[in-house]
Amino acid sequence: MTKVASIGECMLELSAADSQRDLRRLGFGGDTLNTAVYLARLGVSVDYVTALGDDPYSERMIEDWRKEGVGTDWVQRIAGRLPGLYTIELDDKGERRFFYWRQQAPAREIFANERTNDLCNALMDYDWLYLSGISLSLYGEAGRERLFELVRQFRAKGGKVAFDSNYRPRGWPSVEVARREIRDQLALTDLVLSSLEDETGLNNIRNAEEAGDFIHDLGPRTVVIKQGKDGCMVSVDGTKTDVPAIKDGKVVDATAAGDSFNAGFLAATLRGEDPVQAANLGHRCASVVIAHHGAIVPRDAFQAALGGSAV
């Protein structure tokens, strides 16, 4: 079975409890963790790569990931540290704003400690690596260079890399640094899952076709440009196809829409489905997720909506 390692950070999440905005539900979420959970629900063998503390909240997260079928062998535990925290504020249309407390989060150190070499060696045994622009923003220049070296070695031995640009300005010292580092990663990527919003913020690109051409020129063969309610554009070696979104319900909370789309697209790709079929499964996943509060929706609801695609 194909093995995927998803790299990044998971935080504690405070989200609205149903429709009562003054009540909060404690959960967890983080872009690459969200994708890992939905990959596991779609039958993909996936491990999560991060660092947490030695506190009860970290322990609870790990227990929940294992229940979801996400592997945790490469979750580092750092004594005396706590995971990051974020809250979600929603408007009447389900659009969200995030507020973070994460500057001392242990996930920032996985490529800059005494266990880094062991981790990098272990990741060579996987078939795919999955990471994001948020992942890159965590590590600092030295950590990113160690990560890039890992990715170069990984691809040299035949591994594949999927990357979501996921540009969040407040995670970077400047847009210039973000642009440079994300472009360096794109040059080491096989499957790009970006968004028009990301490409506008990073490169001032304002249409999906131009974004696809720009990313292809950096090296990736398959590029997906997500456009929210307008669906996505899939480009393979420059051949572009628009794939409409699924619009069959109210948007309750758009959190993790893109992350769940990525899981559907990658899961279908690993099954050998073509890129349009992969995009359709991505849209189906996202349509379920945005109908619920929080990044990780109830497992039963996800499985019921996805039918035979979920396990």
pLDDT of residue 62: 97
Number of domains in the chain: 1
Report the C-alpha gap between 295 and 159 in whole angstroms.
Answer: 29
Three-class secondary structure of residue 224 per DSSP: strand
pLDDT along the chain (311 residues), means of 10: 96 69 74 98 98 95 97 96 84 71 87 95 98 96 97 98 96 97 98 98 96 97 96 97 89 91 98 97 96 90 86 75
Give the tokens for residue 109: 């150190």
* CATH code of the domain in which 93 resides: 3.40.1190.20
CA 89, CA 196: separation in Å to the nearest integer?
23
Using CA atoms, how far residue 166 sits from 57, 143, 270, in Å, is: 26, 18, 22
pLDDT at 119: 97
User: Is there a catalytic annotation at residue 213?
Assistant: no
Determine how β-strand 232-236 pairs with β-strand 222-226. antiparallel
H or E element, residue 96: strand 96-101
Among the listed residues 31, 164, 253, 259, the single catalytic one is: 259
For strands 20-29 and 11-17, give the pairing. Answer: antiparallel
Please work out, in degrees rounded to the nearest 5, the angle formed at the alpha carbon of residue 241 by the alpha carbons of 240 and 246: 145
Give the Cα separation of 228 and 192 in Å (integer). Answer: 16
What SS3 class is residue 172? coil
Q: What span, in angstroms and rounded, lies between the C-alpha atoms of 66 and 176?
A: 38
**What is the model's pLDDT at position 102?**
77
DSSP-based three-state secondary structure for 219: coil
The parent domain of residue 291 ranges over 3-309
- What's residue 96's pLDDT? 66
Classify 192 as helix, strand or coil. strand
